[in-house]
Amino acid sequence: NAGVTQTPKFQVLKTGQSMTLQCAQDMNHEYMSWYRQDPGMGLRLIHYSVGAGITDQGEVPNGYNVSRSTTEDFPLRLLSAAPSQTSVYFCASSYSLAGELFFGEGSRLTVL
């Protein structure tokens, strides 16, 4: 049982480049979300989705784009990477917005 799978695990980008972090879950969860973890800041919500075709902004959405075309997949797009987006990104899924979240292993992104 794979749970939540994120790719890539590591990525280095130059300022201005774009990329997509992939996230897939096999638990048939309706809710999926993206967080970033920064030192001293904890986990901050970027975007979330309550079901296929429905997405909404979290606490720190600027510079990121999401879409949810299927229940399983929730990719996070960085449109024009900036050094401030250097972080560890976690995708999570759950049965409810506030319930137990199941996290992926994380994607470490460095923007030079």
Chain residues in the site for another protein (CB under 8 A): 4, 33, 35, 40-45, 48, 58, 90, 92, 96-98, 100-106
> Which three-class secondary structure state does DSSP give residue 95?
coil
**What residue has token string 């904890």?**
42
Min CB(17)–another protein separation in Å: 24
Min CB(84)–another protein separation in Å: 18
C-beta of 17 vs 75, nearer to another protein: 75
C-beta of 28 vs 100, nearer to another protein: 100
Min CB(1)–another protein separation in Å: 14
Check: CB of residue 1 under 8 Å from CB of residue 102.
Answer: no
- The Cα–Cα gap between 89 and 86 comes to 9
- The Cα–Cα gap between 62 and 47 comes to 10
